[in-house]
Structure 1
Amino acid sequence: MSTPDPTRELPKSWDPAEHEARLYQRWVDAGYFTADASSEKPAFSIVIPPPNVNGSLHMGHAYEHVLMDALSRRRRMQGYEVLWLPGMDHAAIAMQTMVERKLAAEGLTRDDLGREAFIERVWAEKAEIGDNIGEQMRRLGDGVDWTRERFTMDDGLSRAVQTVFKKMYDDGLIYRAERLVNWSPVLKTAISDIEVSYADVEGELVSFRYGSLDDGQPHIVVATTRVETMLGDTAIAVHPDDERYAALIGTELDHPFVDRKIPVIADDYVDPEFGSGAVKITPAHDPNDFAIGQRHDLPMPTIMDDEARIADTGTEFDGMDRFEARVKVREALAAQGRIVKEVRPYLHSVGHSERTGEPIEPRLSMQWWVRVESLAKSAGDAVRNGDTVIHPTSMESRWFGWVDNMYDWCISRQLWWGHRIPIWYGPDGDIVCVGPDEQAPEGYVQETDVLDTWFSSGLWPFSTLGWPEQTAELEKFYPTSVLVTGYDILFFWVARMMMFGTSMGPQVDDQPQVPFHNLFLHGLVRDEHGRKMSKSKGNGIDPLDWVERFGADALRFTLARGANPGSDISVGEDHAQSSRNFATKLYNATKFAMMNGADATGELPDRDTLTEADRWILDRLDQVLADADAGFEAYEFSKACESLYHFAWDEVCDWYLELAKVQFAENDENRSRATSLVLGEVLDKLLRLLHPVMPFVTEVLWQALTGEESVVIAPWPQVQSADADPVAARHIDDLQRLITEVRRFRSDQGLRPGQRVAAEIDGLDVAGLERSRPYLDSLARLEGAGDDFAATATIDVRLSAATVTVRIDTSGTVDVAAERKRLAKDLAAAEKELSSTTAKLGNEQFLSKAPDHVVAKIRERQRVATEEAERIGAALNALGGS
């Protein structure tokens, strides 16, 4: 190692704002994050789940970015050639909606501009706002390779999209058909399931009568919350075993408004116990009805246009909005005497467009589809065969539940912004699919629809590496090492990538490869009360707000400390403040250690020459290193961070630094040198272990401690080969317990923290702590007993091998009468709390009615009150007197 510059002093305190931007730019300029595809190092690669280009990073993004960065930084330190590839998604619906909203404010529509001018406008908006996310990533400390940043609509990725579409079309995996889709009347396009959010809506349940109004003549009663859809009814279904309707099965009933006969059909789907046991079938506007319509070969008339207005029914309702028609149809049915029950409120779940907020309309529509059966099988087999490992494994059942039961995928969207489907229509009805190096025949017109965004993002792991060209990046970094993403898009995005990768992607020995070897699924970020963050609840947290207030390291450590595979994480300001305090503690402790001679540049002395305190902290360092390695390897960030946190705070800062001060004070040159080297070794490795999660403060401290270039490229610590010393560990544990008990006694007696008191101690030699008196005197503020020593209190501390007795003379240091009065007051309060909680817990009526969490809270209060009463009583006894 280089020699640290002794003239380079650390600032008085840790202020993240003074360092973060400078450090990050230095890392980028130095090329630390730029991957070398020609490197002989083993490869480690992650592609970023691309955020939408029109948005900004929310706390969920920050969460997974921290985890990806921690994995990348650690692998870089372990000697891997690391590629963490950044990029953004064109977000077809979100981006088009945003631009159309801006046009509306100008009094324009996209039709006013025309397709070409509108797309130019979207590109202009993208250029204006696209840098926002990149700046946020820099503020978080994301160690991405900016030289390889990609966008789902750049030329290379567009070529990959066209290549895959052409191959799938030629292989018969892409087809055009009229099917039921989620339709957004505002956007006037089909949307995917992930773009539909469900909410309970107070509607009305309308029961009306098909057939004769005479009870003695054929008729059936059905109920619906969307009575306007009855204009598209083409059947009434009953259960085949329902005797009430046996005679009607196969007959037909007149439609009240349309010149159409409504057959009564039998289908096992119908629940005879629900409602009247009969259901109206509207195949073009309900998923379940569509399935029944297919089974029974029913007509499927679409009764709404692309804006959800009633159309082509030949009735008085044509031209009405669906909600207006809902009222008018009900009124018309009532006028005919067909409403058989009073219309009543009915709470039911309704899907809404996530982007525009209106209820979606299930609608029969001509769309482009992917035939998924073979693709889904290959995606499922990749996990079954272990080619891709899901973390946590408990998510496998959800994965198989989806891919083993997948429906064909609607990939067309009626938008202008996006990858335009490379299908061209000829004047005679011919259809041609055009590949990336092909031209459509003259006179052919291209399909107006664009592809679902998930189609292009499904190619992300290999399209970003240059495929379909055989690039050096593809050769080096594909398949990628791990995908880090939320479990909530396991089906929508991850399944698409697995289907494309295992069926269409880059091949080795003529076999497609999985897109990633490991799939780490993290949970959602929730607020401190466990609620999902949302704008409507007002509980969302801007990650950059926390960066401003607490520093990037504090944000990062807060998120990583709560991260475990598949589990949600709850965070609040208290967590961020705690993490900021940890960064400050680390900074102050390292600065203090350096001021006292900590040296990370020399070789450690032989273990035989070290003190038990030295051997203990080095052994603990090895154990914590092993724990951190195990946590990171298993994607159990919480376990790794907890281990590092408690080692740094509880053992290094609270104990070893204090023990080291005693060793420095002995004025033994060899002892001081050994202590400085041990302290330097511990801090050097600790800072390297914390760097993946807390890159900024560790960089400043490690550079100052070691004099080296950067902790970013420092080697990951290794466990020492020496055997652990269990005797030293036991002795230090006993010493900590002894000091803690004396400190507790001092606190209970009201002694000032720095006030020294005389003490006699028996049993140190039997306990194996005969050389520990200097530590005890320094850390417990004791001093030797003089000739006039007279013990006023005795403390017996049971240790692992013996009981140590500490006799203390507090005369002249404590106002015994005042202290007894204070303690008596505290004891009365503790006993009152104990009495109150005991009474409540003894009340059977209370216990039978109170929620479990309330009872648990009272039990905890009772436990604390009991301990307080015992502690204060012991303190009173130690004072003596009456």
Structure 2
Amino acid sequence: MDKTYDPSEIEPRWYQTWEQAGDFNARLEPDRDAYCIVIPPPNVTGSLHMGHAFQHTIMDALTRYHRMRGDNTLWQPGTDHAGIATQMVVERRLAAEGVSRHDLGRDAFVDKVWEWKAESGGNITRQMRRMGSSVDWSRERFTMDAGLSEAVTEVFVRLYDEGLIYRGKRLVNWDPVLKTAVSDLEVESKEEQGHLWHLRYPRSDGQGHVIVATTRPETMLGDMAVAVHPDDERYRDLVGQTLELPLTGRRIPVIADDYVDPEFGTGCVKITPAHDFNDYAMGQRHGLTLLNIFDDDACINDDAPEAYRGLSRFEARKRIVDDLDAAGLLERIDDHTLMVPRGDRTGEVLEPYLTDQWFVKTGPLAEPAIEAVETGRIRFVPDNWKNTYFQWMRNIEDWCISRQLWWGHRVPAWYDDAGNIVVGRTEAEARERWHAQFGNDQEPRLRQDDDVLDTWFSSALWPFTTLGWPEQTPELKAFYPTAVLVTGFDIIFFWVARMIMMGLKFAGDVPFRDVYITGLIRDAEGQKQSKSKGNVIDPVDLIDGIDLDALVAKRTVGLMQPKKARAIEKATRKDFPDGIPAFGTDAVRFTFAALASTGRDIRFDLGRVAGYRNFCNKLWNAARYVLMNTEGQDTGLNPDDAISLSAADRWIISRLQDTERKASDHLDAYRFDLAAQTLYDFTWNEYCDWYLELSKPVLTGDADAAAQRGTRRTLVRVLETLLRLMHPLMPFITEEIWQKVAPLAGAEGRSIALTRWPTPDADRHDEAAEADVAWLQRFILGVRRIRGEMDISPSKPIPVLLEQAGVDDRERLGRFEALIAFLARTESIRVLDAGDTAPESALALLGDMRILVPMAGLIDKDAELARLDKQIAQTEGDVQRAEAKLGNEGFVSRAPEAVVNQERERLTTHRKTLGELQAQRERIAAL
């Protein structure tokens, strides 16, 4: 093996090897249990972000684990056509050439999108390969490929035929820039500073006026009522009366409704059913007319008074307020903080807009989907997320599935000249249905609906359509229902629930057995990652590293967007002033796994990645030690050769059984953090720090051939097993090392990815060996602690005395004295008999036995006390300065929170150091 671990050389080579060999391809083998995960399809326009990298680590770990367990395993890949995002990308490219989609026409524009997809749409799949994702690329799907498009049409037609899809005029989120309805998931509502206008609406009976408050005065042109609470004594006599709607010449009624909050404003609420979701619901309850005053540009339309027609909503707002003020109908204007809904793609303020759209009637679909979770056919992990699911499903609204775009699955509906609608899988079928429906032999002129279907509609079918539905394929039979869905909590409504409804409806079963909900990836301070905060990290940058000087140079010459470059620089400069080193994929993946506590948001600290990069180095160097001591040597492969196992050999084998059991249990329970910790502890603390050291006297001393053979065999077999245990989390480094270790351990196979998952053997659990080595470890650590506390050089041999040694202590000392001398650098070990007086010594305890190190000749007591007094004085000064700083109210109130917290951490560290120094001084003074 190379002396230095270099992930940049290992990782691309091994991924190419695996993919070319088809190692990730699922095979239809009926005698094996099936295990399937469908990937949440990332947008074809997208790139890998930290959330993707986290979830892909989890999914790949599960996939590799079950593949090694012998399951017939499929991780189904694919991408989403991302209707809005993709259309925007291509339109921007065309705009740079001075062309619009309308110049091209629909068909030519869609051709342009397909061209872009072929050229640029594979970026995220390349990044998936960098993450080591072991998906079955031979089965890659795209939500707009021919098979999935056919399935989408089939579902639409069947739902329509059952009366579960309909076309109607309802309120939707409308983006006036994109000129399309958008889903709630594409709405970003943020607090913004605005105003609350208090308007006077005169009573029709001439008895004064009422005052209503609104954050959108332009919508008053569409008011159809003013509502009050039925128990509000102030307005009880007004209910049923009418008001004069200013500027319009219309009268509107006063109605009573429990929804009104009497404490808000004056207790009178203007009701605009066509421009507010809550008002729409109230309008339905009271039978109010829906008056739409906007066009699709969010400009005032011809149903409003002539003075405002053609104005944008914000121009209209200004003029309406001025006109109300001139008429004496503006009571006052207050500053007001409000939630403003903006489109996540355009940043434009969205408008509740009344328009004709296609809807799915979700009530009948929701009932069996609720029951599937109630009865445990689907399990949420963590369990509490099922409550979020139930809350939404039990109050579900009909689903708007149409979008006013050109890129997407076009609605399979046609209109004749009279406006009649007919739905069909093809235009030919639509014509047959038209003739059957209207009994007319004449050939109609049919025009297909211009709308396309919401991207979430096709992705709701993803678990079964990717397996070949509506055909009853062998893959569908083998892999459906899938095993687990790994996703974020933010799309439980938009995707998880809809997949459950559609899976039950069309595939006849739940789409997955478990739903593993991940937390959000936050920065080290717990802040949500966002471009505006400058704390976004690209996972590929963590893998490959970032040279900040090169980054600044790119920004300067225009090779990188300045905002992106500054965000990367800000996110990394604090911990890595010169840039991020190349951590490699395995270190990044292990970090994600180690942080994956179920359901909790993840604080992603670059320091943790650096720590796990060191862990990779530790494993690499351990493997080099093993190979240097076993390659070309007898590792016990001949069953006829005698094998003798030392207590250390039997101990590490026993500990391995416990590690195998825990790793399996944790992965089965989705506790990736505990699995990672188990493997880390065994690798670093037990195998590397202890067993490798315990093996050295056997391999380099005068042990017989059987003992050396036993230790060599244990070295390679335990390492080979450990590599298999770690492979799901760290696939690249484990494959590289396994290829060299496996032949020495007698393991067969072309790749570690295809080997057997380790299972514990109860017969190899050795309590006696574990007790022996635990005693040995405590002995050695006791001596080492004394060295550290007394500042004795690690290389200086020291004498050791034992008081109150029991029979077991004496017996173990007889067996392990040579090991203790090797690892603890003891000069001699003498057991004191009862009545013997020990000289002035430092003390460590091992049960009832006292481990003593005489200080005579080892330290200069007076010089050591003087050194400690100097350190104590310096540390006391550090404590006092930190306390004074934090006691300064001006510093605490004005300094950034991160700076104050850093100072508090320093004070805690200084106090801890001071306590340790004072305790050490007391020990030495007592000698």
TM-score normalized by the length of structure 1: 0.92
Distance 1:437 1:176, change over 3 A: closer
For 1:249-268, what aligned pairs fall within 5 Å after superposition? Answer: 249-268=239-258
For 1:432-447, what aligned pairs fall within 5 Å after superposition? Answer: 432-435=422-425, 438-441=428-431, 442-447=444-449
Alignment partners' CA distance in 1, 2:474 and 2:81: 26
AA partner of residue 526 (structure 2) = G
Offset at residue 80 of structure 1 (A): 0.8
Write the deviation string for residues 119-165 of structure 1: whole angstroms up to 9, x where unpaired: 11111111111221111111111111110000000000001000100
Partner in structure 2 of residue 509 of structure 1: none
Partner in structure 2 of residue 461 of structure 1: 463
Offset at residue 836 of structure 1 (A): 8.5
User: How many residues are paired up?
Assistant: 856
SS in 2 for 1:719: coil
Within the candidate set 47, 50, 75, 1:56 is matched to 47
Partner in structure 2 of residue 6 of structure 1: none
- Determine if the alignment matches structure 1 residue 477 to structure 2 residue 522: no
Further displaced range: 312-321 or 184-193: 312-321
Offset at residue 330 of structure 1 (A): 0.6
Offset at residue 374 of structure 1 (A): 1.3
Within the candidate set 350, 365, 381, 1:360 is matched to 350
Distance 1:158 1:840, change over 3 A: closer
Within the candidate set 388, 409, 422, 1:398 is matched to 388
SS in 2 for 1:772: helix
Distance 1:170 1:213, change over 3 A: closer
Partner in structure 2 of residue 487 of structure 1: 489
Distance 1:466 1:840, change over 3 A: same
- Determine if the alignment matches structure 1 residue 544 to structure 2 residue 579: no
* Partners of 2:204 and 2:242 within 8 A in 1: no
Distance 1:685 1:401, change over 3 A: same
Partner in structure 1 of residue 527 of structure 2: 531
Distance 1:496 1:436, change over 3 A: farther
Alignment partners' CA distance in 2, 1:601 and 1:171: 70
Partner in structure 2 of residue 498 of structure 1: 500
Offset at residue 67 of structure 1 (A): 0.6
* Partners of 1:309 and 1:322 within 8 A in 2: yes
Distance 1:792 1:877, change over 3 A: farther
Distance 1:282 1:316, change over 3 A: same
Further displaced range: 389-398 or 863-872: 863-872
Partner in structure 1 of residue 563 of structure 2: none
* Partners of 2:802 and 2:849 within 8 A in 1: no
Alignment partners' CA distance in 2, 1:221 and 1:481: 58
* Partners of 1:258 and 1:314 within 8 A in 2: yes
Further displaced range: 764-773 or 715-724: 764-773
SS in 2 for 1:197: strand
Partner in structure 2 of residue 682 of structure 1: 718
Partner in structure 2 of residue 824 of structure 1: 869
Alignment partners' CA distance in 2, 1:42 and 1:473: 13
* Partners of 1:159 and 1:436 within 8 A in 2: no
- Determine if the alignment matches structure 1 residue 235 to structure 2 residue 225: yes
Q: Give the CA RMSD over aligned residues.
A: 3.0
Within the candidate set 77, 80, 95, 2:68 is matched to 77
Alignment partners' CA distance in 1, 2:922 and 2:680: 33
Partner in structure 2 of residue 873 of structure 1: 921
Offset at residue 652 of structure 1 (A): 1.0
Larger RCO (alpha carbons 8 Å, 6+ apart): 1
AA partner of residue 826 (structure 1) = Q
Distance 1:873 1:833, change over 3 A: farther
Alignment partners' CA distance in 1, 2:879 and 2:766: 44
Distance 1:263 1:213, change over 3 A: closer
AA partner of residue 260 (structure 2) = V
Partner in structure 1 of residue 739 of structure 2: 703
Partner in structure 1 of residue 592 of structure 2: 559
Offset at residue 643 of structure 1 (A): 0.9
Within the candidate set 112, 136, 141, 2:127 is matched to 136
* Partners of 1:234 and 1:263 within 8 A in 2: yes
Offset at residue 775 of structure 1 (A): 2.0
AA partner of residue 202 (structure 1) = Q
Alignment partners' CA distance in 2, 1:125 and 1:480: 32
Partner in structure 1 of residue 666 of structure 2: 631
Alignment partners' CA distance in 1, 2:848 and 2:717: 31
Offset at residue 349 of structure 1 (A): 0.7
Partner in structure 2 of residue 3 of structure 1: none
For 1:685-834, what aligned pairs fall within 5 Å after superposition? Answer: 685-707=721-743, 708=748, 709-722=750-763, 724-762=765-803, 766=807, 768=809, 769-770=812-813, 771-784=815-828, 794-807=841-854, 810-811=857-858, 818-830=863-875
Q: Which runs of 5+ in 2 are unaligned?
A: 432-443, 545-581, 831-836
Within the candidate set 565, 585, 605, 1:572 is matched to 605
AA partner of residue 233 (structure 2) = E
SS in 2 for 1:52: coil
Distance 1:837 1:431, change over 3 A: closer
* Partners of 1:660 and 1:675 within 8 A in 2: yes
Offset at residue 517 of structure 1 (A): 1.3
Alignment partners' CA distance in 2, 1:600 and 1:389: 47
SS in 2 for 1:741: helix
Partner in structure 2 of residue 450 of structure 1: 452
AA partner of residue 410 (structure 2) = R
Within the candidate set 159, 164, 173, 2:155 is matched to 164
Alignment partners' CA distance in 2, 1:437 and 1:801: 90
* Partners of 1:228 and 1:329 within 8 A in 2: yes
SS in 2 for 1:247: helix
Give the fraction of aligned pairs with identical amino acids, expressed as a percent. Answer: 48
Alignment partners' CA distance in 2, 1:760 and 1:636: 46
Alignment partners' CA distance in 2, 1:554 and 1:162: 44
Distance 1:436 1:877, change over 3 A: farther
Write the deviation string for residues 647-677 of structure 1: whole angstroms up to 9, x where unpaired: 1111111111111112323322222111112
* Partners of 2:203 and 2:242 within 8 A in 1: no
- Determine if the alignment matches structure 1 residue 324 to structure 2 residue 359: no
TM-score normalized by the length of structure 2: 0.88
Distance 1:403 1:286, change over 3 A: same
Write the deviation string for residues 497-556 of structure 1: whole angstroms up to 9, x where unpaired: 00100112x2xxxxx111111111111111111111111111111111111111010111
Partner in structure 2 of residue 13 of structure 1: 4
Partner in structure 2 of residue 65 of structure 1: 56
Alignment partners' CA distance in 2, 1:113 and 1:681: 66
Within the candidate set 644, 650, 664, 2:679 is matched to 644
For 1:280-319, what aligned pairs fall within 5 Å after superposition? Answer: 280-312=270-302, 313-319=304-310
- Determine if the alignment matches structure 1 residue 101 to structure 2 residue 92: yes
Partner in structure 2 of residue 581 of structure 1: 614
Distance 1:527 1:417, change over 3 A: same
Offset at residue 563 of structure 1 (A): 0.9
Alignment partners' CA distance in 2, 1:841 and 1:328: 54
AA partner of residue 824 (structure 1) = D
SS in 1 for 2:308: coil
Offset at residue 20 of structure 1 (A): 0.8
SS in 1 for 2:587: helix
Write the deviation string for residues 672-720 of structure 1: whole angstroms up to 9, x where unpaired: 1111122222211111110000001001111111134211111001101
Alignment partners' CA distance in 2, 1:600 and 1:432: 76
Offset at residue 745 of structure 1 (A): 2.6
Offset at residue 622 of structure 1 (A): 1.3
For 1:112-261, what aligned pairs fall within 5 Å after superposition? Answer: 112-211=103-202, 217-261=207-251
* Partners of 1:762 and 1:806 within 8 A in 2: no
Offset at residue 40 of structure 1 (A): 2.8
* Partners of 1:827 and 1:873 within 8 A in 2: no
* Partners of 1:248 and 1:264 within 8 A in 2: yes
Write the deviation string for residues 475-505 of structure 1: whole angstroms up to 9, x where unpaired: 111111111111111111111100100112x
Alignment partners' CA distance in 2, 1:612 and 1:837: 51
Offset at residue 56 of structure 1 (A): 0.7
* Partners of 2:644 and 2:706 within 8 A in 1: no
Offset at residue 869 of structure 1 (A): 3.2
